[in-house]
Amino acid sequence: MIKFDTGLAAGTEVARLAKIASLDPAKPAGGNQMHSDEFAQRMGFKGALMPAPTLMAYVTELLISVYGEAWFDDGSLKLRFRRPVYNQEQILVKAQFKEMKEEAVSSSVILDVTLEKSDGEVAVIGEANCSVAVP
Average pLDDT (77-106) is 92
Average pLDDT (92-101) is 93
Q: Cα–Cα distance between 49 and 132 in angstroms, integer?
A: 35
Say if residue 54's pLDDT is above 80.
yes
What residue type is assigned to position 18 of the chain?
A
User: pLDDT per residue over 1-31, tens digit each?
Assistant: 566 666 678 888 899 999 999 987 666 555 6
Q: State the pLDDT at residue 130.
A: 93
Domains and CATH numbers, the chain: 13-23+50-133 (3.10.129.10)
Bridge partner residues of 13 (DSSP): 96
User: pLDDT per residue over 31-52, tens digit each?
Assistant: 677 777 778 888 888 988 899 9
Q: What predicted TM-score, i.e. pTM, was given to this entire model?
A: 0.87
Q: Cα–Cα distance between 62 and 93 in angstroms, integer?
A: 7
Average pLDDT (80-104) is 92
Say if residue 91's pLDDT is above 90.
yes
User: pLDDT per residue over 70-89, tens digit each?
Assistant: 899 999 999 999 999 999 99
Q: What is the mean pLDDT of the chain?
A: 87
Q: State the pLDDT at residue 47.
A: 87
Q: Classify residue 92 by burial, with Cβ atoms within 10 Å: 0-12, 13-18, 19+.
A: middle
Q: Tell me, what DSSP letter sits at residue 9?
A: P
